[in-house]
Structure 1
Amino acid sequence: MLASLEKGLSRVNAPLARLGSWIGGAMLVAMTVIVLLQVVFRYLLGMPLSWTDELSRFLMIYMAYLCLPLIYLQDKNIAMTFLLEALKQRRGRHLLMVVIHILAILTFCVWIKFGYDFFLRGGSRADSLPISMRFIYAAPPILMTITLLSAFQKIVAELRLFMADAPGEQTPAL
């Protein structure tokens, strides 16, 4: 049952994470071009552009949130593993990982709630671009919800591994 739930979550999370990373990569390229354009206009032509700093900042915000689900699914985030490494039993490690993912989910829920509140209050316009700040403030609640799905998948995977490592049982094949 846990294996099928994990597969179902993976069918949703994997494409969303890949799509987010591709869009985030495209935003990184766009941000690089915009910053180079700003350097050329500011230092070579002596006519700084007013919108490049703000747009590159907005692209950086979206890029970070779009790539977060893939980073979380692949365990590429920064982690302090000394406690995990100190545990000798694999089952204990799986349980600790479940607790860690639950704490991450609680953090994501707080992030989503405050992000949504900020979104509701953000009806102003950007300083140098004709963009409503609601578009920028929508990134945390929407994209953290996708990351939340990734955390649920990680919990299911850890619980499946915990059950598979039970004494006297064989690891089920996926």
Structure 2
Amino acid sequence: MGAVLGLTNGLGAVNAALLTLGRRIGASMVAVMVIVILLQVFFRYVLGNALAWPEEASRFLMLWMTGLMAPTAFRRGGFVSIEMLTRLLPTAASAILSLVLLGLSLVVLIVGVKIGWSEVTGLGGRFATDSLHYPTTLDFNTIQKVPKSWMMLSLVVGLGMLISVCVELILRSLITLVGHAENLNEIPYSVMGGAE
């Protein structure tokens, strides 16, 4: 049991670090997305000349923000769930039901990664965005369109992080089921802004 506890707490520490980084990058992306949208509103309604790239840039940022921040919500139980049945069941039966649901979630996430990777490397990933460009030289003389695979990669990264969290939650549930929950490191909730 000591090895499983060590593995679980170690994976929890890795997940905590990755999710903290993901939340910070995701929050930055939200800030940039708001600026881009406000810029588009200004150009469209004040200057009467809409820009071509803000909508696509906002979509790009939103997808990456979702991929980076969803694992935190999953780890902390922030996804929508129906808890009535698990609260009515005895503790052991509730833990077993949670394990079954987490196992199903893990299968779906693994299939999702395969689908996401096929989108990144497949036909759709070979195209470029319509209006987003990036410089290929430091003097900005040469620009290239952003590949759509960069946008689709957000799915793979997000699902990969969700798989890591799901494995941690499965291990935590197993340890709780055998009665050693007191030895697990707590999942911190303080940075959720007090939302319950």
Q: Which residue of 1 aligns with 2:56?
A: 54
Q: Which residue of 1 aligns with 2:157?
A: 142
Written as runs of structure 1 = structure 2, the 5 A alignment for 1:118-157 is 118-121=119-122, 122-129=125-132, 130-157=145-172
- Partner of 2:130, secondary structure, is coil
TM-score normalised over the length of structure 2: 0.82
Name the % identity: 29
Q: How many residues align?
A: 168
Give the C-alpha shift of residue 156 in structure 1: 0.6
1:173 aligns with 2:183: yes
Give the C-alpha shift of residue 105 in structure 1: 0.6
Written as runs of structure 1 = structure 2, the 5 A alignment for 1:84-163 is 84-87=86-89, 89-121=90-122, 122-129=125-132, 130-163=145-178
TM-score normalised over the length of structure 1: 0.92
Pick aligned residue for 2:78 from 71, 76, 79:
76
Residues 171 and 64 of structure 1, relative CA distance in 2, 3 Å threshold:
closer
Q: Which residue of 1 aligns with 2:28?
A: 26
Unmatched 5+ residue regions in structure 2? 133-144, 185-196
Distance 2:183 2:83 in 1: 27
Q: More strand per residue: 1 or 2?
A: 2
Distance 1:10 1:144 in 2: 17
Amino acid in the other structure paired with 2:79: N
Q: Which residue of 1 aligns with 2:10?
A: 8
Q: After TM superposition, which residue ranges in structure 1, 4 or more long, deviate above 6 angstroms? A: none
Distance 2:154 2:19 in 1: 15
Unmatched 5+ residue regions in structure 1? 165-169
